[in-house]
Protein backbone atom coordinates (compact mmCIF):
# COMPACT_ATOMS: atom_id res chain seq x y z
CA UNK A 1 0.00 0.00 0.00
CA UNK A 2 1.98 2.98 -1.20
CA UNK A 3 -0.54 5.27 -2.86
CA UNK A 4 -2.63 7.98 -1.18
CA UNK A 5 -5.28 10.00 -2.96
CA UNK A 6 -5.89 13.27 -1.24
CA UNK A 7 -9.07 15.22 -1.79
CA UNK A 8 -8.24 18.84 -1.15
CA UNK A 9 -11.82 20.09 -1.48
CA UNK A 10 -15.32 18.70 -1.87
CA UNK A 11 -16.28 21.75 -4.01
CA UNK A 12 -16.43 21.57 -7.77
CA UNK A 13 -17.21 24.00 -10.58
CA UNK A 14 -18.93 21.22 -12.53
CA UNK A 15 -21.94 19.06 -11.70
CA UNK A 16 -21.26 15.64 -13.19
CA UNK A 17 -24.36 13.54 -12.89
CA UNK A 18 -22.47 10.45 -11.70
CA UNK A 19 -20.47 12.31 -9.03
CA UNK A 20 -22.66 14.90 -7.34
CA UNK A 21 -26.40 14.39 -6.73
CA UNK A 22 -28.56 17.17 -8.18
CA UNK A 23 -29.24 19.87 -5.59
CA UNK A 24 -26.49 18.45 -3.33
CA UNK A 25 -26.27 20.40 -0.07
CA UNK A 26 -23.92 18.25 1.96
CA UNK A 27 -20.89 20.57 1.69
CA UNK A 28 -18.32 20.38 4.43
CA UNK A 29 -17.75 23.60 6.35
CA UNK A 30 -14.59 25.43 5.28
CA UNK A 31 -13.17 25.13 8.79
CA UNK A 32 -13.45 21.35 8.51
CA UNK A 33 -11.36 21.24 5.35
CA UNK A 34 -7.76 20.35 6.04
CA UNK A 35 -5.39 23.28 5.58
CA UNK A 36 -2.41 23.01 3.24
CA UNK A 37 -0.13 22.70 6.28
CA UNK A 38 -2.22 19.85 7.69
CA UNK A 39 -2.21 18.03 4.36
CA UNK A 40 1.58 18.37 4.06
CA UNK A 41 1.97 17.01 7.57
CA UNK A 42 -0.13 13.94 6.70
CA UNK A 43 1.91 13.42 3.53
CA UNK A 44 5.17 13.58 5.49
CA UNK A 45 3.93 11.01 8.00
CA UNK A 46 2.56 8.81 5.21
CA UNK A 47 5.92 8.89 3.40
CA UNK A 48 7.48 7.73 6.66
CA UNK A 49 5.13 4.73 6.56
CA UNK A 50 6.10 3.80 3.00
CA UNK A 51 3.59 5.75 0.89
CA UNK A 52 5.36 6.92 -2.25
CA UNK A 53 2.68 8.12 -4.70
CA UNK A 54 0.19 10.85 -4.07
CA UNK A 55 -2.63 12.28 -6.12
CA UNK A 56 -4.49 15.51 -5.44
CA UNK A 57 -8.13 15.32 -6.30
CA UNK A 58 -11.55 16.53 -5.17
CA UNK A 59 -14.19 17.81 -5.88
CA UNK A 60 -12.15 19.86 -8.28
CA UNK A 61 -8.67 20.46 -6.83
CA UNK A 62 -8.06 23.50 -9.04
CA UNK A 63 -10.84 25.48 -7.33
CA UNK A 64 -8.49 25.68 -4.36
CA UNK A 65 -6.13 28.65 -4.60
CA UNK A 66 -3.20 27.14 -2.67
CA UNK A 67 -2.79 24.04 -4.83
CA UNK A 68 0.50 25.13 -6.44
CA UNK A 69 2.07 25.85 -3.03
CA UNK A 70 0.81 22.51 -1.79
CA UNK A 71 2.46 20.68 -4.71
CA UNK A 72 5.71 22.57 -4.14
CA UNK A 73 5.79 21.66 -0.45
CA UNK A 74 4.97 18.02 -1.16
CA UNK A 75 7.62 17.75 -3.87
CA UNK A 76 10.24 18.80 -1.31
CA UNK A 77 9.49 15.85 1.01
CA UNK A 78 12.33 13.31 0.76
CA UNK A 79 11.14 9.84 -0.21
CA UNK A 80 8.05 11.03 -2.04
CA UNK A 81 8.23 9.68 -5.59
CA UNK A 82 5.29 11.03 -7.52
CA UNK A 83 2.60 13.68 -7.26
CA UNK A 84 -0.33 13.50 -9.66
CA UNK A 85 -3.49 15.54 -10.10
CA UNK A 86 -7.01 14.56 -11.17
CA UNK A 87 -8.90 17.45 -12.68
CA UNK A 88 -11.86 18.24 -14.88
CA UNK A 89 -9.41 20.37 -16.86
CA UNK A 90 -11.59 23.49 -17.02
CA UNK A 91 -9.14 25.54 -14.93
CA UNK A 92 -5.97 23.81 -16.00
CA UNK A 93 -4.88 26.10 -18.86
CA UNK A 94 -3.68 29.01 -16.70
CA UNK A 95 -2.26 26.73 -13.97
CA UNK A 96 -0.51 23.94 -15.90
CA UNK A 97 2.96 25.44 -16.18
CA UNK A 98 3.11 26.61 -12.54
CA UNK A 99 1.98 23.17 -11.38
CA UNK A 100 4.64 21.52 -13.52
CA UNK A 101 7.31 23.89 -12.24
CA UNK A 102 6.20 23.20 -8.66
CA UNK A 103 6.84 19.48 -9.12
CA UNK A 104 3.57 17.97 -10.34
CA UNK A 105 4.43 15.01 -12.54
CA UNK A 106 1.23 13.51 -13.90
CA UNK A 107 -2.26 14.76 -14.74
CA UNK A 108 -5.50 12.87 -15.31
CA UNK A 109 -8.15 14.90 -17.08
CA UNK A 110 -11.82 13.91 -17.17
CA UNK A 111 -13.31 14.03 -20.65
CA UNK A 112 -16.63 12.23 -20.97
CA UNK A 113 -17.55 13.63 -24.39
CA UNK A 114 -16.21 15.88 -27.13
CA UNK A 115 -19.59 17.01 -28.36
CA UNK A 116 -20.25 20.29 -26.46
CA UNK A 117 -23.91 19.50 -25.83
CA UNK A 118 -23.32 15.98 -24.58
CA UNK A 119 -20.43 17.23 -22.45
CA UNK A 120 -22.70 19.90 -20.98
CA UNK A 121 -25.48 17.43 -20.33
CA UNK A 122 -23.11 15.23 -18.30
CA UNK A 123 -21.10 17.89 -16.48
CA UNK A 124 -22.96 21.21 -16.87
CA UNK A 125 -19.60 22.54 -18.06
CA UNK A 126 -17.83 23.84 -21.16
CA UNK A 127 -15.78 21.34 -23.14
CA UNK A 128 -13.80 24.13 -24.87
CA UNK A 129 -12.20 25.01 -21.51
CA UNK A 130 -11.23 21.37 -21.00
CA UNK A 131 -9.66 21.15 -24.44
CA UNK A 132 -7.63 24.29 -23.65
CA UNK A 133 -6.57 22.60 -20.39
CA UNK A 134 -5.46 19.48 -22.27
CA UNK A 135 -3.41 21.55 -24.72
CA UNK A 136 -1.78 23.41 -21.83
CA UNK A 137 -0.97 20.15 -20.03
CA UNK A 138 0.71 18.76 -23.14
CA UNK A 139 2.64 22.01 -23.62
CA UNK A 140 3.79 21.95 -19.98
CA UNK A 141 5.38 18.53 -20.59
CA UNK A 142 4.00 16.57 -17.68
CA UNK A 143 5.47 13.08 -17.53
CA UNK A 144 2.03 11.67 -18.26
CA UNK A 145 -1.33 13.12 -19.22
CA UNK A 146 -4.27 10.71 -19.31
CA UNK A 147 -7.89 11.19 -20.28
CA UNK A 148 -10.69 9.64 -18.20
CA UNK A 149 -14.17 8.91 -19.48
CA UNK A 150 -16.99 7.44 -17.37
CA UNK A 151 -19.19 5.17 -19.50
CA UNK A 152 -22.95 5.73 -19.53
CA UNK A 153 -25.32 3.92 -21.82
CA UNK A 154 -27.58 6.26 -23.74
CA UNK A 155 -25.49 9.25 -22.69
CA UNK A 156 -21.99 9.05 -24.15
CA UNK A 157 -21.57 5.72 -25.93
CA UNK A 158 -21.65 7.47 -29.32
CA UNK A 159 -18.75 9.61 -28.08
CA UNK A 160 -16.43 6.66 -27.56
CA UNK A 161 -15.06 6.54 -31.07
CA UNK A 162 -14.53 10.33 -31.37
CA UNK A 163 -12.73 10.17 -28.01
CA UNK A 164 -10.50 7.37 -29.27
CA UNK A 165 -9.60 9.41 -32.36
CA UNK A 166 -8.91 12.45 -30.20
CA UNK A 167 -6.69 10.41 -27.87
CA UNK A 168 -4.78 8.95 -30.83
CA UNK A 169 -4.35 12.34 -32.45
CA UNK A 170 -2.87 13.83 -29.28
CA UNK A 171 -0.93 10.72 -28.25
CA UNK A 172 -2.73 10.53 -24.88
CA UNK A 173 -3.97 7.34 -23.21
CA UNK A 174 -7.74 7.22 -22.83
CA UNK A 175 -9.24 5.33 -19.89
CA UNK A 176 -12.80 4.10 -19.97
CA UNK A 177 -14.29 3.77 -16.51
CA UNK A 178 -17.33 1.76 -15.51
CA UNK A 179 -19.94 3.74 -13.65
CA UNK A 180 -19.83 3.09 -9.90
CA UNK A 181 -22.71 3.74 -7.49
CA UNK A 182 -21.39 6.94 -5.96
CA UNK A 183 -24.09 9.55 -6.18
CA UNK A 184 -27.61 8.25 -5.72
CA UNK A 185 -28.73 4.68 -6.04
CA UNK A 186 -30.75 5.49 -9.17
CA UNK A 187 -27.71 6.76 -11.09
CA UNK A 188 -26.50 3.23 -11.50
CA UNK A 189 -29.23 1.23 -13.21
CA UNK A 190 -29.27 -1.61 -15.72
CA UNK A 191 -30.47 0.98 -18.22
CA UNK A 192 -27.55 3.37 -18.00
CA UNK A 193 -24.74 1.02 -17.01
CA UNK A 194 -22.42 0.29 -19.93
CA UNK A 195 -20.10 -2.59 -19.06
CA UNK A 196 -16.51 -2.55 -20.28
CA UNK A 197 -17.13 -5.68 -22.38
CA UNK A 198 -19.68 -3.79 -24.42
CA UNK A 199 -17.44 -0.75 -24.80
CA UNK A 200 -14.77 -3.11 -26.11
CA UNK A 201 -17.23 -4.50 -28.63
CA UNK A 202 -18.15 -0.99 -29.79
CA UNK A 203 -14.47 -0.16 -30.37
CA UNK A 204 -13.79 -3.62 -31.80
CA UNK A 205 -16.21 -2.91 -34.64
CA UNK A 206 -13.88 -0.15 -35.84
CA UNK A 207 -10.41 -1.34 -34.96
CA UNK A 208 -8.52 -4.28 -33.56
CA UNK A 209 -7.80 -4.22 -29.84
CA UNK A 210 -4.42 -5.68 -29.01
CA UNK A 211 -3.94 -6.47 -25.29
CA UNK A 212 -0.95 -4.83 -23.66
CA UNK A 213 -0.57 -6.97 -20.53
CA UNK A 214 2.81 -5.49 -19.67
CA UNK A 215 1.74 -1.89 -20.13
CA UNK A 216 1.55 -0.17 -16.73
CA UNK A 217 0.83 3.51 -16.87
CA UNK A 218 0.84 4.76 -13.34
CA UNK A 219 -0.42 2.98 -10.30
CA UNK A 220 -4.01 2.07 -11.05
CA UNK A 221 -6.07 -0.97 -12.08
CA UNK A 222 -6.50 -0.12 -15.80
CA UNK A 223 -5.98 -2.88 -18.36
CA UNK A 224 -4.52 -1.42 -21.55
CA UNK A 225 -5.16 -2.23 -25.21
CA UNK A 226 -3.57 -0.75 -28.29
CA UNK A 227 -5.94 -0.02 -31.14
CA UNK A 228 -3.99 -1.33 -34.07
CA UNK A 229 -4.95 1.11 -36.79
CA UNK A 230 -5.63 4.34 -34.91
CA UNK A 231 -2.67 3.79 -32.57
CA UNK A 232 -4.74 4.86 -29.55
CA UNK A 233 -3.88 3.37 -26.19
CA UNK A 234 -7.09 2.65 -24.29
CA UNK A 235 -7.25 1.57 -20.64
CA UNK A 236 -10.30 -0.19 -19.22
CA UNK A 237 -11.21 0.27 -15.57
CA UNK A 238 -13.98 -2.08 -14.55
CA UNK A 239 -14.75 -1.93 -10.86
CA UNK A 240 -18.13 -3.56 -11.44
CA UNK A 241 -17.51 -6.36 -13.95
CA UNK A 242 -13.86 -7.22 -13.27
CA UNK A 243 -14.11 -9.64 -10.37
CA UNK A 244 -10.37 -9.33 -9.75
CA UNK A 245 -10.50 -5.54 -9.59
CA UNK A 246 -9.44 -5.21 -5.95
CA UNK A 247 -6.67 -7.77 -5.95
CA UNK A 248 -3.88 -5.34 -6.70
CA UNK A 249 -5.38 -2.33 -4.91
CA UNK A 250 -2.56 -0.25 -3.51
CA UNK A 251 -4.38 2.89 -2.40
CA UNK A 252 -6.24 4.68 0.33
CA UNK A 253 -8.04 7.99 0.30
CA UNK A 254 -7.95 11.07 2.50
CA UNK A 255 -11.14 13.13 2.28
CA UNK A 256 -11.12 16.92 2.28
CA UNK A 257 -12.53 16.90 5.82
CA UNK A 258 -9.73 14.70 7.08
CA UNK A 259 -11.14 11.17 7.08
CA UNK A 260 -9.04 8.26 5.96
CA UNK A 261 -11.08 6.01 3.72
CA UNK A 262 -9.32 2.70 3.18
CA UNK A 263 -11.66 1.62 0.35
CA UNK A 264 -13.76 3.69 -2.06
CA UNK A 265 -16.51 1.07 -2.12
CA UNK A 266 -16.87 0.57 1.60
CA UNK A 267 -18.38 3.08 4.01
CA UNK A 268 -15.66 2.68 6.63
CA UNK A 269 -13.74 5.89 7.43
CA UNK A 270 -11.38 6.82 10.23
CA UNK A 271 -11.12 10.37 11.51
CA UNK A 272 -7.66 11.85 11.16
CA UNK A 273 -8.56 15.51 11.57
CA UNK A 274 -9.10 15.39 15.31
CA UNK A 275 -5.71 13.74 15.82
CA UNK A 276 -4.08 16.23 13.45
CA UNK A 277 -5.50 19.14 15.39
CA UNK A 278 -5.11 17.71 18.89
CA UNK A 279 -1.61 16.36 18.72
CA UNK A 280 1.64 18.09 17.84
CA UNK A 281 3.39 14.78 18.01
CA UNK A 282 3.25 12.70 14.80
CA UNK A 283 3.03 9.40 16.69
CA UNK A 284 -0.78 9.36 17.06
CA UNK A 285 -1.14 10.39 13.41
CA UNK A 286 1.04 7.49 12.38
CA UNK A 287 -1.07 5.17 14.51
CA UNK A 288 -4.30 6.29 12.77
CA UNK A 289 -2.77 5.66 9.33
CA UNK A 290 -1.51 2.27 10.45
CA UNK A 291 -4.97 1.39 11.76
CA UNK A 292 -6.46 2.34 8.38
CA UNK A 293 -3.96 0.06 6.65
CA UNK A 294 -4.88 -2.74 9.04
CA UNK A 295 -8.63 -2.52 8.41
CA UNK A 296 -8.51 -2.03 4.63
CA UNK A 297 -11.09 -4.47 3.23
CA UNK A 298 -10.01 -7.07 0.69
CA UNK A 299 -12.82 -6.10 -1.67
CA UNK A 300 -15.24 -3.27 -2.38
CA UNK A 301 -18.97 -3.75 -1.78
CA UNK A 302 -20.28 -2.12 -4.97
CA UNK A 303 -21.80 -5.37 -6.16
CA UNK A 304 -23.71 -5.91 -2.90
CA UNK A 305 -26.57 -3.46 -3.45
CA UNK A 306 -24.27 -0.76 -2.20
CA UNK A 307 -26.03 2.44 -1.32
CA UNK A 308 -23.77 5.51 -1.45
CA UNK A 309 -23.40 7.35 1.84
CA UNK A 310 -21.23 10.23 0.76
CA UNK A 311 -21.15 11.04 -2.95
CA UNK A 312 -17.91 10.86 -4.93
CA UNK A 313 -17.43 14.64 -4.77
CA UNK A 314 -17.21 14.37 -0.98
CA UNK A 315 -14.94 11.33 -0.92
CA UNK A 316 -12.46 12.29 -3.64
CA UNK A 317 -12.08 10.52 -6.95
N1 LIG B 1 -12.82 16.95 -10.55
C2 LIG B 1 -11.78 16.06 -10.92
C3 LIG B 1 -12.13 15.33 -12.19
O4 LIG B 1 -13.13 15.67 -12.81
O5 LIG B 1 -11.38 14.43 -12.57
C6 LIG B 1 -11.33 15.12 -9.82
C7 LIG B 1 -12.38 14.43 -9.02
S8 LIG B 1 -13.33 13.25 -9.91
C9 LIG B 1 -14.34 12.66 -8.60
C10 LIG B 1 -12.17 11.98 -10.22
C11 LIG B 1 -12.59 10.89 -11.16
O12 LIG B 1 -13.66 10.17 -10.61
C13 LIG B 1 -13.03 11.36 -12.51
O14 LIG B 1 -12.32 10.69 -13.53
C15 LIG B 1 -14.48 11.00 -12.54
O16 LIG B 1 -14.89 10.75 -13.83
C17 LIG B 1 -14.51 9.77 -11.65
N18 LIG B 1 -15.85 9.46 -11.11
C19 LIG B 1 -16.65 10.26 -10.38
N20 LIG B 1 -17.81 9.65 -10.07
C21 LIG B 1 -17.75 8.41 -10.61
C22 LIG B 1 -18.63 7.31 -10.65
N23 LIG B 1 -19.84 7.36 -10.08
N24 LIG B 1 -18.23 6.19 -11.29
C25 LIG B 1 -17.02 6.13 -11.88
N26 LIG B 1 -16.14 7.15 -11.88
C27 LIG B 1 -16.49 8.28 -11.26
For the chain, how big is the Rg over CA atoms in Å?
Answer: 19
Task: Give this prediction's pTM.
Answer: 0.97
Percentage of residues in the chain with pLDDT exceeding 90? 85
Q: In Å, how far from its chain's centre is CA 157?
A: 21
Q: Cα(205) to centroid of ligand 1, in Å?
A: 27
Write the pLDDT tens digit of every residue in 189-240. Answer: 878 999 999 999 999 999 999 999 888 887 778 999 999 999 999 999 999 9
Write the pLDDT tens digit of every residue in 6-58. Answer: 999 999 999 998 999 888 888 999 999 999 999 999 999 999 999 999 999 99
Q: Cα(53) to centroid of ligand 1, in Å?
A: 19
| pLDDT at residue 248 in the model | 87
Is the beta carbon of 20 within 6 A of some atom in ligand 1?
no
pLDDT band with cut points at 50, 70 and 90 for residue 145: very high
Write the pLDDT tens digit of every residue in 120-135. Answer: 999 999 999 999 999 9
CA distance 307 to 21: 13
Which of the listed residues 12, 13, 19 should we mutate to test ligand 1's pocket, taking the one with most ligand atoms within 8 A of CB?
19
Amino acid sequence: MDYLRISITDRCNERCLYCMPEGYKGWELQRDHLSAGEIIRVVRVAVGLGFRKFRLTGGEPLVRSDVVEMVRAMAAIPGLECIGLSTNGTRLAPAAQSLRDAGLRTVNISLDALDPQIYRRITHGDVAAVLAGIRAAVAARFERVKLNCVLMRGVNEQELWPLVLFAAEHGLPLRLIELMPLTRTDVLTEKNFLPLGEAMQILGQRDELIPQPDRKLGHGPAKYYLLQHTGALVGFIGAMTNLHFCEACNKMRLTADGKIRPCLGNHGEIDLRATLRDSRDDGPLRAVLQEALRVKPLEHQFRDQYSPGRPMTAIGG
